Amino acid sequence: MSAIVPIFLVVGVGYIAVQFGPFKREDMSILSTFVVKIALPILVFVNVYGKAASEIFRPTYLLTYALTAIIMFGLAYLYAKVMKRSKLRATFMGIGMAGTNNGFMGLPIFLILVPEWAGVAVGMDMLVDNVFIIPLTLFLAEHATGSGSLIQRLKTTAREVLLHPLVIAIALALVLNSIGFVMPDWAGRSVDLLANTTTGLALFTVGGILAGLQIKGALLDVFVAVSGKLVAMPAIAIGVLTLLIAIGLPDLPIELKAAAIITCALPTYSILPSLAEPYGEADVSTAIVMLSILVSFITLAAWIVILGSMGWL
C-alpha cells in the first residue's frame, strides 16, 4: 500500500484538477508532451550516464519484456480470429495487452520499490517500447489498412525510432560514457532539476487525462484486453523470465526481476487512444486505457504481494 496509494493519490489530484479545478483536458496534452519529450528522456539520460553498457543493457530483462509482448500480440490476434474481429481491432487490442505505462506510472512505483534500479529499468522498458512495440503496432496497423508499400512502412518506422527523444537520450549518454566525458556540476544540477519534474507531473497528467475519458465500444473486447494486460501478461512474464534464465541467459538481480514483472503488470499506454484514433479504434482503446488504470489499483497491489512472497521484493 505504501507503494500504490501515493501513486493513485497524485493521479486523483490530476483528475480533480481537470474535473473541478483550473485545468482543462486539453492542457494535459501539453504536460504530456513535456514529460515524454523533455523530462523523461532527461531522467533516463541521468540514469544511463556514467554507467557501463553491461549495467544498462541486460539481455534477459529486455527479452523478457519483448518476448512477453509478442505473446500478448499473438493472443490478441488469436482472440480476434476466433471472435471474427478485424485485423485493426486485433492490432490495438494487442498493444493494449502488450504495451505498458512505464514513464507515467512505472517510474514512480520503481522509485519506491527498487529506487537504485528505477532509471535503468525504465530506460530498458522504454527502449523496448519505442524500438519494438510501438513501431510494430504502427506497422501492423498500416499493413491492415493496406496503405503504402512495405519499404515505405519500414522507412517511416525506422525514422520515427531513430528520432525519438528517448532513443537520442540513451545514445547520447552512451557516447559520453564511451569518451569518458565528465559533466560539470552546474550542468548536472540543471539536468537534475528537469529530471526531478518527471514523476509527479507524469502522474498528475494521467489523472487529468482520465477526467476526459469515457468507456465506449465493445465491452467484451475491453474486458479481454484489460484482463490480458493486468493478469495474464505478468504471469506469462514470470514464465518467460524463468525460462530464459534456465536456458543459460544471465541471471538478474532480484530487484530487476521484480521490475520486469511489475512492468508487465502496469496499465497500458496512456497514448493508446492517440495511436488508435487515425484507424477508427479510439473508442475501444480509450476504454482499455481507462479501465486498466482503474483496475490496476487492485492488481498491482496483488502482484507486489506475490513478488514479495517469491522473495523478489
Q: Dump the DSSP string for 156-220.
A: HHHHHHHT-HHHHHHHHHHHHHHHT----HHHHHHHHHHHTTHHHHHHHHHHHHHTT----S-HH
Closest listed residue to residue 153, CA positions, set 139, 133, 135, 132: 139
Residue with cell 485493426: 88
The number of C-alpha atoms within 13 Å of 91 and in the hemisphere containing its C-beta is 25
Q: Looking at residues 232-238, what average pLDDT do you find?
A: 97
User: Would the pLDDT of 178 be above 90?
Assistant: no
Q: Can you tell me which residue has the cell 498500416?
A: 142
Q: What is the mean pLDDT of residues 80-87?
A: 92
Query: Which pLDDT score, from 0 to 100, does residue 287 have?
Result: 85
Give CA–CA dist 147/28, Å, rounded: 31
Structure confidence at residue 215 (pLDDT): 64
What average pLDDT does the structure give for the chain?
A: 86
pLDDT value at position 286? 80
Q: What whole-number distance in Å separates Cα of residue 258 and Cα of residue 313?
A: 7
Mind listing the pLDDT tens digit for each residue in 209-223? 778 766 666 789 999
Res 40: pLDDT: 77
> What digits encode the pLDDT tens for the residues 67-76?
999 999 999 9
Show the cell assigned to 160: 520515427
Quick: pLDDT tens for 94-139. 999 999 988 778 888 898 899 889 888 988 898 888 788 988 888 8
Distance CA 129, CA 213 (A): 23
In whole angstroms, give the CA distance from residue 279 to residue 282.
Answer: 8
The CA distance from 65 to 295, in Å, is: 21
Q: Is residue 283 scored above 80 in pLDDT?
A: no
pLDDT value, residue 37? 82
pLDDT at 171 over 90: no
Query: HSE of 85 in the Cβ direction (CA atoms, 13 Å)?
Result: 24
Give the pLDDT confidence score for residue 107 in this predicted structure: 83
**What is the Cα–Cα distance from 73 to 87, expressed in whole angstroms?**
11
User: pTM of this prediction?
Assistant: 0.80
Query: Which range, of 13-27, 40-54, 97-111, 120-134, averages the lowest pLDDT?
Result: 40-54
pLDDT band at 153 (very low <50, low <70, confident <90, very high): low
Q: Which residue has the cell 473508442?
A: 283
Give percent above pLDDT 70 in the chain. 94
Nearest to 297 by CA among 65, 19, 1: 1
The owner of cell 483536458 is 25
What local confidence, expressed as pLDDT, does residue 155 receive? 75
